[in-house]
């Protein structure tokens, strides 16, 4: 490494963020990049550790440790320190098609596995990655690079999320003619409408889409394959079809009063907010507003946190976030050693903002909704919650959740957002193509493969593996592209 003692010489420093009370005034990204010399120092902290767990991407005790894309992290950290930024960008793009996305929205599995994190603070891998890609864009190093030769093969990719986009880029680089079909009016899938603007400004996606167009990839928007576009016609027209439609079937909460007015799925709430912001800066009024409302969010994950941050920006009067699971410890437990993924409690940007605005953490642990309460007109006026406890069930042979008798509480609410995860893809798409699904309603493929039960139809991303991370979607898209290429050409160089 360029500076073997870097991890001893410099402490970890993160990009500064705008304070919660200031950043809630808009929907912009709120972290400011540090000065160049400081960034080089942060890259210098990447030690010559011998075994770089950061780029391993392997499951340990049921959870992945390290980067699923196998990014060459020590190499490009060293190149940042030595000032070879173009070489760093080259190394980064060898494994990651869209570092401008992952460096914003990935939970940084790499940092959790960083050897520096064993006895101190891990390297700022995610921010270093962001520096590399944004510097490459700023200096004009990222330019259209269409293939010099075309194979004459045509591929349709259904869905323009990160798996579909990554698959399309790889296949296009190989020389195949690729068309992406997207059911919405903008490209990006959940990157566009499922992730709020303050985490990923949408011009970042548009910038990438324009590059893909210049490279020869075609896009068709407002194209709902399986409903508006016949699946059979695509199979007749294209040499291969790749299904990358995501896990768009949200998990519901089936409790009395579910039909009350004022209950929405989180994905619908976030999509309507972002679309109205992009279309008219909210002037069209075509969004679900939390202004002056008491909001209850069911779900403690990233999507629930995004709902908290969005509701606060809209001017909610109160917000509560319900989490069925117990609160995780604030630091690693003894049974959760490095390099396992750290099962620790994190307070994300939305929760930080709730604390700043309302004076307390919005999360209530081991709690769920038992009943939705509505008024005479059918409008939501609150929820009845109940506490949960884990108890060992001898019949089941495992711990199960049980209600705590007498723990019911009423919480006033005019808006409830359900952020309880997803249960696979919308089923009309697999049905349209006639592909088999598994017991989790995902598209079925052989172990380690992307081919489906239907000839020349492949699947990748959340539609195949279930709800997951952007970094996994990109990996799936890349791997699926290699299999499609081999199917089309008899071999692959991807």
Q: What is the DSSP string of 152-175?
A: S-EEEEE--SHHHHHHHHHHHHHT
Q: Is-contact 68 109, C-beta < 8 A?
A: yes
Task: Say which DSSP state 265 is in.
Answer: E
Find the mean pLDDT for residues 107-130.
Answer: 95
pLDDT for 1 beyond 80: no
Helix (H, G, I), strand (E, B) or coil at 355: helix
Find the mean pLDDT for residues 274-288.
Answer: 98
How far apart, in whole angstroms, are the C-alpha atoms of residue 453 and residue 445?
A: 7
pLDDT for 458 beyond 80: yes
Using one digit for the tens of pLDDT, what is the confidence trace for 49-80? 888 999 989 899 888 999 999 999 999 999 99
Share of the chain above pLDDT 90, in %: 94
Domain 154-248+423-489 sits in CATH at 3.50.50.60
pLDDT given at position 314: 98
pLDDT given at position 312: 98
Region of poorest pLDDT, from 2-16, 20-34, 281-295: 2-16
Using one digit for the tens of pLDDT, what is the confidence trace for 389-447? 988 888 878 888 999 999 999 999 999 999 999 999 999 999 999 999 999 999 999 99
For the chain, what are the domain ranges? Answer: 6-138, 154-248+423-489, 263-418
Using one digit for the tens of pLDDT, what is the confidence trace for 284-317? 999 999 999 999 999 999 999 999 999 999 999 9
The 10 Å Cβ neighbour count of residue 129 is 27
Find the mean pLDDT for residues 476-494.
Answer: 97
pLDDT given at position 396: 79
Using one digit for the tens of pLDDT, what is the confidence trace for 256-270? 999 999 999 999 999
SS3 letters across 91-133: HHHCCCCCHHHHHHHCCCHHHHCCHHHHCCCCCCHHHHHHHHH
Using one digit for the tens of pLDDT, what is the confidence trace for 210-226? 999 999 999 999 999 99
- 154-248+423-489 shares its CATH topology with 263-418: yes
Find the mean pLDDT for residues 146-155.
Answer: 97
Architecture of domain 6-138: Orthogonal Bundle (1.10)
The 10 Å Cβ neighbour count of residue 58 is 12
Share of the chain above pLDDT 70, in %: 100
Q: What is the bridge-based pairing of β-strands 294-298 and 415-418?
A: parallel
Using one digit for the tens of pLDDT, what is the confidence trace for 314-353? 999 999 999 999 999 999 999 999 999 999 999 999 999 9
Output the average pLDDT for the chain.
Answer: 96
pLDDT band at 108 (very low <50, low <70, confident <90, very high): very high
pLDDT band at 177 (very low <50, low <70, confident <90, very high): very high
CATH topology of domain 263-418: FAD/NAD(P)-binding domain (3.50.50)
pLDDT given at position 10: 96
How far apart, in whole angstroms, are the C-alpha atoms of residue 352 and residue 141?
A: 37
pLDDT given at position 134: 98
Of 199, 202, 194, 144, the closest CA to residue 173 belongs to 144
Alpha-carbon dihedral sign for residues 323, 329, 331, 335: negative
Query: What's the Rg (C-alpha) of the chain?
Result: 23
């Amino acid at each position: 490494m360029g500076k073997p003692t870097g991890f001893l010489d410099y402490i970890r420093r993160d990009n500064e963020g705008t304070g919660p009370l200031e950043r809630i005034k808009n929907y912009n990204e709120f972290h400011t990049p540090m000065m160049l010399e400081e960034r080089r120092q942060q890259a210098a902290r990447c030690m010559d550790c011998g075994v770089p767990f950061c780029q391993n991407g392997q499951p340990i005790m049921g959870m992945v440790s390290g980067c699923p894309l196998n990014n060459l992290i020590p190499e490009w950290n060293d190149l940042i320190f030595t000032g070879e930024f173009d070489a760093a960008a080259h190394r980064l793009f060898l494994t990651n098609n869209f570092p401008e996305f992952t460096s914003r929205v990935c939970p940084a599995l790499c940092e959790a596995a960083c050897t520096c994190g064993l006895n101190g603070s891990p390297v700022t891998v995610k921010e270093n990655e962001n520096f590399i890609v944004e510097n490459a864009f700023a200096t004009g190093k990222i330019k259209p690079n269409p293939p010099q030769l075309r194979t004459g093969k045509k591929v349709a990719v259904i869905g323009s999320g990160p798996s579909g986009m990554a698959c399309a880029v790889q296949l296009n680089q190989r020389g195949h003619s690729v068309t992406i079909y997207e059911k919405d009016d903008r490209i990006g899938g959940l990157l566009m409408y499922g992730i709020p603007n303050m985490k990923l400004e949408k011009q970042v996606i548009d910038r990438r889409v324009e590059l893909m167009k210049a490279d020869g990839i075609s896009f068709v928007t407002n194209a709902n394959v399986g409903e508006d576009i016949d699946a059979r016609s695509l199979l007749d027209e294209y040499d291969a079809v790749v299904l990358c439609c995501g896990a768009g079937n949200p998990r519901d909460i089936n409790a009395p009063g579910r039909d009350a007015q004022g209950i929405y799925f989180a994905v619908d709430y976030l999509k309507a907010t972002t679309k109205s912001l992009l279309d008219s800066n909210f002037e069209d009024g075509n969004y679900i507003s939390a202004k002056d409302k008491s909001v209850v969010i069911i779900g403690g994950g990233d999507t629930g946190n995004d709902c908290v941050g969005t509701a606060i920006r809209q001017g909610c009067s109160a917000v509560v976030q319900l989490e069925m699971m117990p609160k995780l410890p604030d630091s690693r437990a003894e049974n959760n050693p490095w390099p396992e993924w750290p099962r620790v409690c994190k307070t994300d940007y939305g929760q930080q903002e709730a604390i700043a605005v309302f004076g307390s953490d919005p999360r209530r642990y081991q709690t769920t909704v038992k009943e939705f309460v509505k008024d005479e007109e059918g409008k939501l006026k609150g929820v009845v919650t109940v506490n949960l406890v884990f108890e060992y069930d001898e019949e089941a042979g495992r711990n199960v959740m049980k209600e705590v008798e007498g723990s019911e509480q009423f919480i006033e609410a005019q808006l409830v957002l359900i952020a309880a995860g997803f249960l696979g893809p919308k089923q009309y798409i697999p049905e349209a193509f006639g592909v088999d699904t598994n017991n989790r309603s995902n598209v079925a493929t052989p172990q380690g493969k992307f081919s489906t039960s239907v000839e020349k139809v492949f699947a990748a991303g959340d539609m195949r593996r279930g709800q997951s991370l952007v970094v996994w979607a990109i990996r799936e898209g890349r791997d699926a592209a290699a299999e499609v290429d081999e199917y089309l050409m008899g071999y692959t160089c991807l």
